Chain A
Amino acid sequence: MSEAMRKIEISLTINGRTQTLAVEPRLSLSDMLRDELRLNGTHIGCEHGVCGACSILLDGVPIRSCLMLAVQADGHQITTVEGMCNEDQTPGILQEAFQDAHGMQCGYCTPGMLISAQALLTANNDPSLEEIKDAIGGNLCRCTGYTQIIESIQLAASRMREAG
Chain B
Amino acid sequence: MKAAKFEYILAESIEQVVQVLDQGDGEAIVIAGGQTLMPMLSMRLARPETVIDINKIAELSGIEVTADEVIIKACTRQAEALASPEIQTRLPLLAKAISYVGHQQTRNRGTVGGSLSHADPASEIPLAALAMDAHVSLRSAAGARRVAMADYFLGPMMTARADNEVLLAVHFPLPQGDVRVGTAFHEVSERRGDFAVVAAAAHIQLDKDGICSNAALAIGGADSVPLRMTALEDRLRGDAITPERIQAVLADVANALTPGNDQHASAAYRRRVATVLAERALTEAAAEAQE
Contact = CB atoms under 8 A, between A and B. Distances in A.
Interface of A: 1, 3-6, 8, 24-26, 28, 31, 47-49, 52, 55, 58, 61-64, 66-69, 71-72, 116, 119, 134-135, 137-138
A8 B8 contact: yes
B38 A138 contact: no
B108 A58 contact: yes
Secondary structure class of chain B's binding surface, majority of residues: loop
Contact size range, B: 20 to 34
29 contacts: A4-B6, A4-B7, A4-B49, A24-B5, A25-B7, A25-B8, A26-B2, A26-B5, A28-B42, A47-B1, A47-B42, A48-B1, A48-B38, A49-B35, A55-B105, A58-B108, A61-B79, A63-B105, A63-B106, A67-B106, A68-B109, A69-B38, A72-B31, A72-B53, A116-B105, A134-B104, A137-B192, A138-B102, A138-B193
A135 B103 CA distance: 8
B51 interface: yes
B10 interface: yes
Given A58-B108, A72-B55, A4 B5 contact: yes
A35 to B, nearest CB: 11
A69 B106 contact: no
A6 B6 CA distance: 10
Most chain A CB within 10 A, of B4, B10, B38, B42, is at: B38
Given A119-B104, A134-B192, 13 more contacts: A25-B6, A26-B6, A47-B1, A49-B38, A58-B109, A62-B105, A66-B42, A68-B109, A69-B38, A72-B55, A137-B103, A137-B104, A138-B106
B39 A63 contact: no
B65 interface: no
A62 B42 contact: no
B103 A138 contact: yes
A137 B3 CA distance: 27
B192 to A, nearest CB: 6
Interface string B1-28: 1111111101000000000000000000
A116 B7 CA distance: 32
Nearest to B53: A72
